[in-house]
Structure 1
């Protein structure tokens, strides 16, 4: 269903793949892009892929949305996982693109039930692995 404010639809595959990441842990990450007035899945990261491989999958000069399933061990030695939503909007991307991604973000995020942490990043340092680790705790 398209959103009246942004005119953006969300492809059903986005929700389906997110549910698989959340429930079955089939993927480490999913990268989404806006194409032809709808949000679609651009890339699925296998469970073996690292955070570095995920970060390298984001284009240097184009906006994207992404979810990353971060596994970690707490100080009490408990295995945990947090699902991060990352709004990637590099400074070098086109202004129109940044505006479209910004205006669609909240609605798209609501479609993905189970996101625990949100990050907004305009360059790789704003979503470094250290930031992911600190935000997970």
Structure 2
């Protein structure tokens, strides 16, 4: 079973800067970091010439002991013109290393994986120099050509990115190629959900018609989600989780994306690529406020896992007991 954990989200400032970057070639890239559990911009990289001419700017912008995410425009036209570098220097604190490495896929997914042709991991400044890129390109060029099936599987892996890790993510940009139109029935069901405690709305893709359709609208307890959500096909599910914490009634909306491993490659690709557009429709057009976004391979989500998402465990500290003096009983 895939673990269900919360991820770090992109700040509005970062998404706005990235939107500007995608619409203009006047800036070479953005350097970003993590602050207060958000992905935030740190600096912009101005465009002064070619890609090779702009790379030396990174020397003064990167630090020997601080990780960073680097977005660079590698080409001016064509699909996926950007590359993403995760820079995690050896001298950084261990916690920072782990945080940046584990959030690497979330970073590109938050901004839209369709914009990135490559995701590169670097641990030294030498790897993000002109020579470093030449070595990287030479290594990639020597890679054995992929078969048609391997290319398809590679596309699925990139599109699903964090899906296999079960992390939270937020839709920042929606590529037009995967923003399928939604049916009125699906939209109406989403709008009714806030007024339906324990309500469950499941959406599916009609791959032939390229539309988002209502698969099912029902009521389910958290215990019954494992059977209410099918294990034979992918689903975008929205659950009105009715519970009390601590003793106060709450009804947060939870988004659950499930994609069984047995799903066809085309299904996995389209569902993973459509995830952002479905979330955008739910929040923008249906007016939903999504409290948690969870992902799993099979729909084996338990009530305990949901409870842990909204009711974090607190450590109970034992009272300090003064040791007895020697000789006393």
- TM interval, short-chain normalised: 0.7 to 0.9
Q: Deviations over 1:18-59 (max 9, x none)?
A: 122122124211000111111100001222272101243111
Residues 96 and 116 of structure 1, relative CA distance in 2, 3 Å threshold = same
Aligned runs of 1:1-137 on 2, under 5 Å? 5-48=5-48, 50-71=54-75, 82-113=81-112, 114-133=115-134, 134=137
User: 1:14 touches 1:40 (CA, 8 Å); kept in 2?
Assistant: yes
User: 1:67 touches 1:84 (CA, 8 Å); kept in 2?
Assistant: yes
Question: What is the CA distance between 1:104 and its match in structure 2?
Answer: 1.2
Residues 112 and 9 of structure 1, relative CA distance in 2, 3 Å threshold = closer
Larger radius of gyration: 2
User: 1:32 touches 1:43 (CA, 8 Å); kept in 2?
Assistant: yes
SS in 2 for 1:106: helix
Distance (whole Å) between structure 2 residues aligned to residue 62 and residue 131 of structure 1 = 19
Q: Which has the higher strand share?
A: 1
Residues 5 and 56 of structure 1, relative CA distance in 2, 3 Å threshold = farther
SS in 1 for 2:40: strand
Aligned to 1:75: none
Unaligned runs of 5+ in 1: 73-78
Q: Deviations over 1:74-118 (max 9, x none)?
A: xxxxx8894110000000000000111112111111122201111
Ranked by relative contact order (alpha carbons within 8 Å, sequence separation 6 or more), the top structure is 1
Unaligned runs of 5+ in 2: 142-329
TM-score (norm 2): 0.35
TM-score (norm 1): 0.79
SS in 2 for 1:92: coil
